[in-house]
Structure 1
Amino acid sequence: MLEIKKYGAIDIGSNAVRLLVANVIIEKGKEPKFKKSALIRVPIRLGADAFVNGKISEENTIRMIDAMEAFKLLIKIHGVERYKACATSAMREAENGQDVAKKILKKTGIKIDIINGKEEARIISSTDLKELIQSDKSYLYVDVGGGSTEFTVFTEGKIVNSKSFKMGTVRLLNNTKSENKVKFKSVEKWIKENTKDFKSISLIGSGGNINKLFKMSGRTEGNPISYIYLNAQYQFLKKMSYQDRITELSLNPDRADVIVPATKIYLSAMKWSGARKIFVPKIGLSDGIIKSLHYNKL
């Protein structure tokens, strides 16, 4: 007998807000299949508020309320039976983050859970990530967001260590060069300490920027990007102006600036861990929310 359930996940990040609607296909005696039905992305850059001014602006609060109202209607239209909204670093660092969440709940009826870095990493790791990991190999999982980056080391199919750093793309754009240098140094130290015992390691990358880079590479799903290719792409993107990235590469305005610091993070992680390739499975927080809802872990 076939059963199809429909779930929704709202991911409130530092660079954008997303709604993922997914079907969970259940057949007796088989593992459930998770299939994306719709993905809507709204470029509300909360990190530009939180990391510079320490609070979410009134303008972005109104945009958030409008976005949640729209998401609520889409959830209804799609016939979603359960959904969850989670906010990450921008909302948790903004001094009025909780107040904004309360205002959104009052206006829209959508309850937002502001989660910490460890909870974010836990939800992401509940995705199909483990199915991609070969039991006899080692991996460094890197999830780059607007406000933070999560690093997780896997070996023999098990998590060895994980850490969340306040080093996201929006934050890097708004910090001074000296501040960013300190951030990169602390990440370099952690990666080297936690990967030094592995002769061979590969990266697994997640986040909107690495997905875009993978699409731009023209590679088919399952084939990794090499360090040489990513380095060449980084040099190419860095030399281009913001305007040219929009007009020549057809990048969205809110992607055209953050893609450069994001590429630097992935490239640096590869260099410091000794990885020569990065796999891009197109998974993230919203996928983890869907899976956690299905297994009643949220």
Structure 2
Amino acid sequence: MNQEIVTIDLGSNSFRVLKYDCTDHKIISEYNEVVGMADGLIDTGLISSEALQRVIEAISHSIQVINYNPEDAICVTTAAMRKALNNKDVLEYFKQKVGTTFTIIDGKEEARLTLLAVKYALKREKIYSEKFILLDIGGGSTEIIINTNDTYESHSFDFGIVTMTQKSLNYDDLHNDLEFRKKEIKIFLDNLDIDLKDYSFVATAGTPTTIAAIKLGQDFFSYDRNIVNGTIVNLEDISNSLDIFKNSSKEDITKLVGRGRVEFIEVGIFIYKMIFEVLNKKESIVLDDGLREGVAINYCQTKFKN
């Protein structure tokens, strides 16, 4: 029986496709593109027609590159679609135009699936960690998951790199927003009544992987997830990245982070730094694995049970 599957994660900024082999839990091929789903969402409450077209083009292009049937793909979408007033129409449009059927998942399910992927990744990278705090910085939401052996607590916070960038017009506004979010996260952590010193800090998604890649001397075009996985990022690496972005041209920053992420990367780094401060951590383990891998693993576990 063919145990190859394709999963799609349509986020608030990124579109990520994975072809996955359930037999040995290996990635066969992948496709990533920035589609800017959440552009203008804060002002209008709607997914724009421009964003719609970008997603349709991305799906069509990914089909050519990875060679899959969109009707068979397991497709999930997250914060931007959760918030959009026209989400039903948008998803129906995708189905008509390219044949994809998307499921809108809530923050809890997003956290569960991302955690599943990260647990597999930690094992694969031979990193022993039963107690860890997982950070997933998205475009429209940020998930924090506290994993304690076989149990976990998660919370989806209503901010991400795109929404915070579009809301905060200057550094003072951004600083105030970050301070507010810091208090919000601290309340969540205090209610759990755990000793943060016992937990390692694991981070996934575009901002942490970008900083890890820069530390390793990679750019957007030479990015290698296999080398990035398991990289330790510390506060000095974060400061170095901020310096690079402050003192580089838009062209140079685009080479580092890719098109469509230039205007968001600094805010992403400030969010990442803020989480370091809340957790009182000096370093974090970075992994490329996230939601689309979790969707694949979850499907493999349920569909192909022995």
Residue 151 of structure 2 is matched in structure 1 by 159
Residue 174 of structure 1 is matched in structure 2 by 166
Residue 274 of structure 1 is matched in structure 2 by 280
Residue 246 of structure 1 is matched in structure 2 by 253
Distance 1:194 1:245, change over 3 A: farther
1:136-181 deviation line (CA, Å, top 9, x unaligned): 75321000110001001123x2334210001110011011325554
Shift of 1:204: 0.6
Amino acid at match of 2:288: K
Amino acid at match of 2:201: L
Partners of 1:137 and 1:290 in 2: how far apart?
22
Residue 265 of structure 1 is matched in structure 2 by 271
Q: Aligned residue pairs: how many?
A: 286
* 1:207 paired to 2:205: yes
Q: Find the partner of 2:261 among 239, 255, 261.
A: 255
Distance 1:114 1:53, change over 3 A: same
Residue 139 of structure 1 is matched in structure 2 by 132
Residue 52 of structure 2 is matched in structure 1 by 61
Residue 29 of structure 1 is matched in structure 2 by none
Q: Find the partner of 1:283 among 285, 289, 293.
A: 289
**C-alpha contact 1:9 1:289 (8 A) present in aligned 2:** yes
**C-alpha contact 1:227 1:267 (8 A) present in aligned 2:** no
Partners of 2:260 and 2:97 in 1: how far apart?
27
Shift of 1:223: 4.8
Amino acid at match of 2:280: G
Partners of 1:242 and 1:165 in 2: how far apart?
32
Secondary structure, in 3 states, of the residue corresponding to 2:198?
A: coil
Residue 23 of structure 1 is matched in structure 2 by 21
So what's the TM-score if we normalise by structure 2? 0.82
* 1:229 paired to 2:236: yes
Shift of 1:34: 1.7
**C-alpha contact 1:202 1:276 (8 A) present in aligned 2:** no
Distance 1:217 1:241, change over 3 A: closer
Secondary structure, in 3 states, of the residue corresponding to 2:38?
A: helix
Residue 48 of structure 1 is matched in structure 2 by 39
Shift of 1:74: 5.0
**C-alpha contact 1:18 1:41 (8 A) present in aligned 2:** yes
Secondary structure, in 3 states, of the residue corresponding to 2:302?
A: coil
Amino acid at match of 2:96: K
* 1:7 paired to 2:13: no
**C-alpha contact 1:16 1:45 (8 A) present in aligned 2:** yes
Secondary structure, in 3 states, of the residue corresponding to 1:162?
A: strand
Shift of 1:4: 6.1
**C-alpha contact 1:50 1:94 (8 A) present in aligned 2:** yes
Amino acid at match of 2:112: R
Partners of 1:169 and 1:283 in 2: how far apart?
19
**C-alpha contact 2:137 2:143 (8 A) present in aligned 1:** yes
Identity of aligned residues (%): 24
**C-alpha contact 1:148 1:165 (8 A) present in aligned 2:** yes
Distance 1:137 1:225, change over 3 A: same
Shift of 1:78: 4.9
